[in-house]
Amino acid sequence: MEELEKSFKSLTKVLLGKELGGLHAYANWLEENVRMSTEQKSVVSGKPIYLPYFSFFQATKSRLVNLEESGELSKKHLDEKDVGNLTPSNAQKMLAPISTYCPIVGHGQTMNVEKTSLYGESSFCYLADGAVKSKYCAYCLWPRESEHVYGCDFIFSSRFCLKCYKSENLTRCFEVSHSNSCSDCYFCHNCDNLQECMFCFNTKSLRYAIANVEIGREEYIRIKKIVLEEIVSRIEANRRFEYNIFNVGCLKSRIESA
């Protein structure tokens, strides 16, 4: 989508200091640490259907149909004689002719939502299951009331976030997890009310901090520039950045052996 591409460029310009074009070229990286839906096929038409990650959908993957097909299939039924013989032990076999499943659930006004099965009142979403009252989201799981978020998993009430996880009220954050009410943060975990911070863990109410130590605005900006230049350089070279909030604190040998 052209609108998603523009949004991704704006996001990376704001977060990383440089536009990264070609959203789909970064798909493998954006999907890392995100519980993505999987592409399946309709048992009726063979058309692609995107099955949400949630475990209760997995047992249905061999019996999937899309919305249009499910309407037609509703006309199928068992004969009255067969209904009388139905028991829990033979149900799987007897219900096979009618037991198809549609994983698509949408509600409210939506616009330009693609390859997404669970959504409501959202627009410009791509591979973003659970998108609710959100816009400009891609390669995500459950972006709720969020805008311009990419490669995120359980991101609520947030905006301009890249590769963030299980967090709420984030603004302009990159690789932040399990945090709340943080802005302009990079590689932070289990934090609350941080502003302009990097590599902080299990802390709160800091500003211009690196590794849980406040160092002042001037020094913070100097170091941030160096860090972002390296991140952008590696992303452009490899279409991904090998470090994330879950492995950045690990020894290299441990990462390679995991």
Averaged confidence pLDDT in the chain? 93
Q: Exposed, middle or buried, 180 (CB in 10 Å: 0-12/13-18/19+)?
A: middle
pLDDT reading at 24 higher than 50: yes
Q: Taking CA 185 as the corner, what is the angle to CA 239 and CA 235, rounded to the nearest 5 degrees? A: 10
Q: Exposed, middle or buried, 190 (CB in 10 Å: 0-12/13-18/19+)?
A: middle
Q: What is the C-alpha to C-alpha distance for residues 78 and 91, in angstroms, rounded to an integer? A: 11
pLDDT reading at 242 higher than 50: yes
Share of the chain above pLDDT 70, in %: 97
Q: Residue written as tokens 């999937």?
A: 64
Higher pLDDT, 85 or 258: 85
**Each residue's pLDDT tens digit, 94-131:** 877 888 999 999 999 999 999 999 999 999 999 999 99
| 107 touches 121 (CB < 8 A) | yes
Predicted pLDDT of residue 258:
41
Q: How confident is the model at residue 84 (pLDDT cuts 50, 70, 90)?
A: confident
| Spatial CB neighbours of 23, under 8 Å, sequence gap ≥ 6 | 4, 5, 8, 138, 150
Read off the pLDDT of each residue in 226-232 and give the average, rounded to a whole number. 97
Q: Residue written as tokens 């200091």?
A: 17
SS3 179: coil
Q: How, if at all, do strands 159-162 and 147-150 pair?
A: parallel
**Each residue's pLDDT tens digit, 47-59:** 999 999 999 899 9
Predicted pLDDT of residue 251:
59
pLDDT reading at 80 higher than 50: yes
- Tokens at residue 240, please? 């991904």
Where is mean pLDDT largest: 25-39, 59-73, 85-99?
A: 25-39
Q: What is the C-alpha to C-alpha distance for residues 135 and 156, in angstroms, rounded to an integer? A: 12
| Range from 55-59, 168-172, 173-177 carrying the lowest mean pLDDT | 55-59
**Each residue's pLDDT tens digit, 180-198:** 999 999 999 999 999 999 9
pLDDT reading at 254 higher than 50: no
Higher pLDDT, 179 or 70: 179
| 88 touches 80 (CB < 8 A) | no
| 16 touches 231 (CB < 8 A) | yes
The pTM of this model reads 0.91
Sign of CA dihedral 60, 64, 69, 73: negative
| Range from 83-92, 143-152, 198-207, 224-233 carrying the lowest mean pLDDT | 83-92
